[in-house]
């Protein structure tokens, strides 16, 4: 019976690409747990969604929907940068990974990061990178990442 239960669990928390209908399933509210994220109108959402979708495999946002509540409980994104270095290679940049505070401890963050990492590998990236706070380093180390350099930022507003 254990194996059936596992399979159900796997199915319940499947990672899939962001859909336009996810706005009504709490996608923006989930991002608000990560950082400053004002409410977004349906029109603004549709416009940005279509813009990002037009990049195809070059910018993927994935989500996990809780099958019971039909709420989006985890998300993350990756975009693909084309370079001249390393024989005209590519790098995947992972951004905006967040798991709902009520859904922690179920390895959903790991699933999201693995999905994004697999995507970057599948389109030919030689590495995938991300920036994280000191308190999240251990989590990413468990996901197979190692610390490299320092993130520097300049804010305009």
**Cα distances (angstroms) measured from residue 58 to each of 24, 48, 77, 107, 114:** 25, 15, 10, 26, 17
* Residue 67: alpha-carbon gap to chain centroid: 18
Stretch that binds a second copy, among 5-13, 32-40, 63-71, 101-109 (CB under 8 A): 32-40
Q: What does DSSP assign to residue 15?
A: E
Among 19, 29, 40, 106, which residue interacts with a second copy (rule: CB under 8 A)? 40
Residue 1, interface with a second copy (CB under 8 A)?
A: no
Residue 106 contacts residue 67 (beta carbons within 8 Å) = no
Closest by CA to 40, choosing from 54, 26, 60, 59, is 26
**Cα distances (angstroms) measured from residue 135 to each of 5, 12, 131, 132, 141:** 33, 28, 12, 8, 11
Please report how close the Cβ of residue 77 comes to a second copy at its closest, in angstroms.
Answer: 8
Among 15, 62, 73, 130, which residue interacts with a second copy (rule: CB under 8 A)? 130
Among 48, 56, 107, 142, which residue interacts with a second copy (rule: CB under 8 A)? 48
Task: Quote the Cα angle for 117-118-124, to 5°.
Answer: 95
Q: Which of residues 53-112 bind a second copy (CB under 8 A)?
A: 59, 79, 81-88, 91, 93, 95-96
Nearer to a second copy, 79 or 115 (CB): 79
Nearer to a second copy, 5 or 21 (CB): 21
Positions in the binding site for a second copy (CB under 8 A): 27-28, 31, 34-38, 40, 44-45, 47-48, 51-52, 59, 79, 81-88, 91, 93, 95-96, 117, 120-121, 125-134, 137, 140-141, 143-157
């Amino acid at each position: 019976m254990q194996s059936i239960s596992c399979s159900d669990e796997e199915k319940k928390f499947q990672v899939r690409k962001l859909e336009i209908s996810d706005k009504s399933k709490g996608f923006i509210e989930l991002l608000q747990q990560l950082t400053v994220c004002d409410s977004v109108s349906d029109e603004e959402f549709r416009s940005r969604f279509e813009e990002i979708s037009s990049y195809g495999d070059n910018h993927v946002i994935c989500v996990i929907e809780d099958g019971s509540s039909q709420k989006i409980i985890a998300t993350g994104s990756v975009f693909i940068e084309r370079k001249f270095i390393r024989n005209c290679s590519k790098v995947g940049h992972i951004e905006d990974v967040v798991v709902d505070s009520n859904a922690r401890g179920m390895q959903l963050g790991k699933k999201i990061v693995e999905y994004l990492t697999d995507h970057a590998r599948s389109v030919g990236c030689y590495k995938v990178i991300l920036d994280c706070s000191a308190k999240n380093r251990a989590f990413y180390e468990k996901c197979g990442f190692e610390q490299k350099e320092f993130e520097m930022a300049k804010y305009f507003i």
